[in-house]
Amino acid sequence: MTVRYREEGETVWIERVFNLDPSKDLVLAGQFKYKTVYEFSSRLKYGGRLGVYSSVLKMRSPGTLISTFFNS
């Protein structure tokens, strides 16, 4: 799974690649600016094929943002 995020209004995405365990959830944790809106989207890679990125989810950071992405 590739998760990308950026500060709202920015043009450059930061991408992180994660290997998924189908039986568990993936938790992305990072340090973000205080009360700043971030945009997140993700895509899956399966059998060598990449999916399309999901819709963008906007979240306001309280300082440390922990966002859970379920693999369902």
State pLDDT tens for residues 37-63: 888 888 888 888 888 888 888 888 765
Determine the Cα–Cα distance for residues 62 and 11; give it in Å rounded to an integer. 22
Closest CA to 18 of 36, 40, 42, 38: 42
- In the chain, pLDDT over 90 holds for what percent of residues? 6
Closest CA to 43 of 56, 32, 58: 56
Determine the Cα–Cα distance for residues 72 and 59; give it in Å rounded to an integer. 20
57 - beta bridge partners? 40
Quote the pTM value. Answer: 0.63
Residue 72 has pLDDT above 60, yes or no: no
